[in-house]
A and B are shown apart, each in its own frame.
Chain A
Amino acid sequence: MRTKKYTDAKLSETVYVGKHSSGLEVRVLPKAGYDSVYALFGVRYGSIDTAVKNADGVFETIPEGTAHFLEHKLFESEELNAFERFEKTGASANAYTSFEKTAYLFKGSSEIEASLEILLDFVQNPYFTQETVDKEQGIIGQEIRMYQDEPDWQVMFNLLRALYKSHPVRIDIAGTQASIAEIDADLLYRLYETFYNPANMALTVVGGVEPETVFALVDRCLVKKKGAPCERKFVPEKPAPVQSYIEQAMSVAEKQFLLGYKLDLKTPELTLAEETATDIALEALVGRSSPLFRRLLDEELIDMGFGAELFCGHGYACVMFGGTSRDPEAAVKQIRVELRKVRKQGLDPDAFERAKRKLYGKSVMCYNEIGATANLLLDLWLCGDPPFAEIAACKQVTLEQAQAQLALLQDKASALSVIVPVQKETADV
């Protein structure tokens, strides 16, 4: 294993990065004085992977929700399942699937090596049958239904469907009842072989463990010695949204809204510098100490949950503003006016400085929790960035860069998603 050391002196943390000959990347951040260890074994395979390149180099469509389905099934085994094996070490194990990745994890404070071995082993050894795949349909079906009742989730996916015509970011991470019905054991094995290869994966470990221990264990436990990163399909989307307004009635107390601005992407992904500049600009624009936040609050158009964020990944990037409001259209109007004003007059330099300090502080605080740190290291790997790149990026952002990012938000590339209370609506009729 080739290893390299990255240190951030101010932060007083060091990350040891190992590159295995198979292509697997291992990132370890040892923490003095910690008993606990948090480990993540991640795959570049998420819900946006609805096409896979076949032997002829052609992208072939696969059902929605396969990454998530496979995540559920990997815990299974011919003998003891992964949960039963972790019972012996006491570690808490779990997994999650997002738009761009699947990650398997444990947190443990004793028998760390044994837990790491279990993690590497169960992810590398799929075992399931058609019968157990069928059984999982019921559990995942309930998971899908649960999310269908969550207004925050629905307001976001409705917005993504309004903004994106064909990018798979518009589909639910778990897929749909119909799409998961198409999934069978053979398909899952085939996709496993494609995506779960070491060059498409990374291991991040944070806490009370020595890097050498982790590297040696990886050398010993890695089954596949070769692999290649999976290519993702990049189909640029047109700047215009599919529709500028989308609404759904749900059992909620008050209206909820999400206003989204789609960014025009020439390359598949934003750079870390662009992302950071956007984050700081949004904080300065609508953060809790901004005049806009105060005005909206005083006019009773938002509550304390109002905020904005950049949402981006491979082939998609948009800025979302949202919260609860009795009158979303009125709130949106003020956001648009403020954006136009900033485009003309620029951001308040004091607000920019405060926002930058705040983001720096939050970046440092991310190293407070071993779980948050391990996830951060995995996300940096996913974007091809080295450890601590996010802190360096934050320190370097200039006012001009932040303003330039805000200038990219165009009204004609935006859409509004609203959840309306179902009772109120019927009462009006």
Chain B
Amino acid sequence: MPQINLLTDGVRLVAEPTDRFKTACISVSMALPMDEHMAANALLLYLLKRSCRAYPDMTQLQGKLDALYGASIGADISKIGEAQVLRLQLTCLADKFALTKESIAAESAQLLADLIFRPNVKNASFGAAALQAEKRLLIQRVEEELNDKRTYAYEQLIANMCQNELYGKPKYGTVEEIEAVKMSDVYAAWRNLLRTAIFQITVVGAADAAQIAEAFTAGFKRIERAPVTPPTQFVQRARRFNHYSKSFPVNQGKLVIGFRAGMADSLDHIASMTVMNDLFGGGTYSKLFANVREKMSLAYYCWSRLIASKGLLIVECGIDTEMERKASAEILSQLSDLRNNKTDPALLDASKRSLRERLTPASPYGILEWYSAQVLQSEICTQEDRIAAIEEVTMEDVCAAAKRISIDSIYMLSAEKTEEAKA
């Protein structure tokens, strides 16, 4: 069990100190509601990562990190349910591997706290040039989602399927929203973040959790906290089926099928849903791998994933465009088999063993991901807890879980016919 500390209202520290690894890893997750400020929040995150009062220039800050044996600070934004989660993540070398006597971890941790609490702000401004630069980079990031067709098709399915829910909104805001952000919006977003976001600081490895707790407690000292927990709407059953498609000049089509998972909250039947999803389209023993890929040779990849934080289950595969009907019919027929207990019982054990294996941490990054994803959970669940719950799942539970899911939408990214084919 990790050490859990509540530093102030809505600010939790989760620490797993260990000297098994060569590093100290710290992530700060900050959850905000998905409202009209998403673009300003996103820009804020990249501005915080860019510099701070002690290192007001990005090249200077980067130079400092390099000198700290290649310490790195990453920034990412994700949706956890209907919350926009901003995250800063630091990885640095453990002190004992330094070639000279230095305290890399303590210095890096202080730097991370400085980025959040002591940014490079003068007269309520992060600097016009910095904002301009980050706007360009963020817009490019949004536009470049088109480059990876697998992710793009997935995002299009979510945007269409959840168009009447907050979850359908893009995580960075739209290009138009980003363009419209003013300096005063970013500054207000920073004040709002410190006051209202739900924070979780996750620490894994050779770092002093007490020192990190101190740095963050000091940062929050003069802030009047009024934390807001963003709610998530769970649509348990699909209503009318929708089919969306668009063609692109590509070689391979991408079929994405969206299901409602029938979950009332992110932990509802979580163990049986996890096993069911794994048997449906997880491991190499799964129905989709064994049939869509191995038996029918339709695809190189065909898998499903469970988005428990929103109660969705999504199937993805890359196929020849004209095989769409054949592939989707097979995927649904496999789901039907799963519902009707037409699954070799030995596969249930295989799935449990494999899930246990995947939940056994072998790197600091895996542990960090597991805990930081729980920023909005009131109780921290360990990987051992989840493994134990999975052990209890029966084939009846799996069938019941499969019966709860309902198909909502399909998005087909199809390959345009080439010039020769048209002629």
A149 touches B70 (CB 8 A): no
B180 interface contact, C-beta 8 A: no
Which A residues touch B378, using CB under 8 A? none
A365 touches B354 (CB 8 A): no
B363 touches A369 (CB 8 A): yes
- Nearest CB in chain B to that of A363: its residue: B70
Determine the distance from Cα of A233 to Cα of B320 in the docked complex, in whole angstroms: 37
CB distance from A158 to the nearest CB of B (A): 15
Q: A151-B147, A368-B363 are in contact. Are A354 and B66 (CB under 8 A)?
A: yes
Which A residues touch B318, using CB under 8 A? 142, 145-146
As a 0/1 sequence over residues 145 to 160 of chain A, the CB contacts with chain B under 8 angstroms (1 = contact) are 1101111000000000
B350 interface contact, C-beta 8 A: yes
Which A residues touch B249, using CB under 8 A? 250-251, 422
A145 touches B251 (CB 8 A): yes
A84 touches B251 (CB 8 A): no
Determine the distance from Cα of A290 to Cα of B350 in the docked complex, in whole angstroms: 50
Determine the distance from Cα of A290 to Cα of B58 in the docked complex, in whole angstroms: 11
Determine the distance from Cα of A357 to Cα of B98 in the docked complex, in whole angstroms: 9
Number of interface residues of A (CB under 8 A): 71
Which B residues touch A370, using CB under 8 A? 362-363
B136 interface contact, C-beta 8 A: yes
- Nearest CB in chain A to that of B350: its residue: A87
Determine the distance from Cα of A370 to Cα of B67 in the docked complex, in whole angstroms: 26
CB distance from B112 to the nearest CB of A (A): 17
Interface residues of A in 246-260 (CB under 8 A from B): 250-254
A367 interface contact, C-beta 8 A: yes
Which A residues touch B349, using CB under 8 A? 87
Interface residues of B in 82-126 (CB under 8 A from A): 91-93, 97, 99
Size category, B interface? 35 or more
A289 touches B66 (CB 8 A): yes
Determine the distance from Cα of A359 to Cα of B66 in the docked complex, in whole angstroms: 9
A291 interface contact, C-beta 8 A: yes
Partner of A92, one of B145, B293, B354: B354
A362 interface contact, C-beta 8 A: yes
B241 interface contact, C-beta 8 A: no
Determine the distance from Cα of A290 to Cα of B70 in the docked complex, in whole angstroms: 14
CB distance from A368 to the nearest CB of B (A): 5
Which A residues touch B141, using CB under 8 A? 303
Which B residues touch A365, using CB under 8 A? 22-23, 70, 91, 93
Determine the distance from Cα of A362 to Cα of B92 in the docked complex, in whole angstroms: 9
- Nearest CB in chain B to that of A357: its residue: B69
B66 touches A90 (CB 8 A): no
A360 interface contact, C-beta 8 A: yes
Determine the distance from Cα of A181 to Cα of B285 in the docked complex, in whole angstroms: 28
- Nearest CB in chain B to that of A358: its residue: B70
As a 0/1 sequence over residues 280 to 320 of chain B, the CB contacts with chain A under 8 angstroms (1 = contact) are 00011100000001100111110000000000000000111
A357 touches B363 (CB 8 A): no
Q: A36-B362, A87-B350, A90-B354 are in contact. Are A361 and B300 (CB under 8 A)?
A: no
Determine the distance from Cα of A417 to Cα of B149 in the docked complex, in whole angstroms: 21
Q: Which residues of A contact B (CB under 8 A)?
A: 10-11, 31, 33-36, 38, 83-84, 87-93, 107-110, 135-140, 142-143, 145-146, 148-151, 207, 250-254, 287-291, 293-294, 297-298, 300, 303-304, 324, 354-355, 357-362, 364-365, 367-371, 395, 422
Question: Could you write out 16 A-B pairs with CB less than 8 Å apart?
Answer: A34-B20, A107-B362, A110-B357, A142-B252, A143-B300, A149-B251, A151-B147, A253-B145, A287-B66, A290-B59, A298-B133, A357-B68, A360-B99, A364-B97, A368-B363, A371-B362
List 9 additional A-B contacts (Cβ < 8 Å) besides A91-B357, A303-B140, A371-B362: A84-B285, A87-B284, A143-B300, A149-B149, A253-B144, A357-B69, A357-B99, A360-B70, A361-B93
**CB-CB nearest 10 A-B residue pairs:** A90-B353, A361-B69, A138-B297, A358-B70, A361-B70, A87-B350, A253-B143, A289-B63, A289-B62, A36-B362
